[in-house]
A and B are shown apart, each in its own frame.
Chain A
């Protein structure tokens, strides 16, 4: 008495199982037929032929996190928009709801999108999405050698000519 929807998801299940089985099969065959002679160089992590230097665990720039968080919010928004899109593309369900529902839902969606776009615009306008640009400042160097000495030398060589 398996319900119909489950048998439709059975295809996905077969895909998942097939994927796992395929990976295991390929790796298993490789393991069976390959020679197994590990040495120190083969086991070391590859880093462009160099010996690895330093730690793999580095501190990310916080900006990545901010961008990921904004992405997450928009993703959740998209998840909430999807049911509406499914209903809206279906003429049958549109007919049952009537014209007033269409306009109400469009207004709702516009408001909903507008809220998040306002947030994005805020973050953008304030420059939190912008990457840190290098900001070279012209350095003023106090010369140790006074200018008069250069003048002196110039005069000396002029005389020799």
Chain B
């Protein structure tokens, strides 16, 4: 029972963390972020199973997290209001080649970040972008001008 309760608490905390740290952090995976992810996983594991090395313990922990993941995704699918809380909505960053700075600031993104993402999408200039949309996953979708 203890592992299941720990799993619920830690799942809730990690979910909260991924929602509040902002999409900017989610979208960029610099070497430091990668190391941080590994450290985070290791730290969570110790709090989750502690000194339990049993297969039963692992099954409980993985089962709890997997069930909660399915439950939250079902909740987001079934209830639109819940989706807003659990996943969020996209944010328009560029419309018709014009940057919406208010929305950039809100997500702690700079014009340089946007230009970098545009270049990785083979768009030389933001002026060539019809729509740039910051998706809930943390990626930026670019729709070029026709």
Chains A and B come from one and the same complex: no
